[in-house]
Structure 1
């Protein structure tokens, strides 16, 4: 499955970025490019509307975290909206992880996140 990304300015300083499909190692650059364009506007709020996102890997999470770091540099904020249950599970897992190294490499992390999302989607 491919990834498509749309973005729009909701109001002054507020942008909504909507990824749709599968956000993984093969597609994260599509989201990253769109986010970079939006960040050049220096919004105070960046909303990721995840309503039609089916899957996210560690590279997708990394892209969102990168946007959050950029926004934080000028006191902006990132909001995640409409997370599907399997996407919510990934973010719950990440928040629950201790600060120490848990996975030996990216592939191991992606395999784990994949298994967790499959459990939620059945």
Structure 2
């Protein structure tokens, strides 16, 4: 099952990670976002940290069989500190979709990306 969360405003530097996330390449998405996380500060850093942790939680669940969801719970702490929508992305919806995907195999939460600005 696929869901869609819109991220129309997402910067190009984060879009690569979002594309990998959408393909179910969660570890690769985590890695793609890490360089931006290292450069970020404040709210932007919390946002990217939440994305990284959501991707890591899916990777741990489906690549390693982990049922602890520790990374998801860490991501929630960052998400709770952010506005409901950030970077054009409905964070509450993304959170719910990732949680559902942690519960059932084959579900891929999607961050739909608007076309890149020309």
Instruction: Give the shorter-chain TM-score range.
Output: 0.3 to 0.5
What TM-score, normalized by structure 1, do the two folds share?
Answer: 0.33
Q: Which has the higher strand share?
A: 1
Greater Rg over alpha carbons, structure: 1
Q: Which has the higher helix share?
A: 2
Relative contact order, CA 8 A, sep 6+: which one is greater? 2
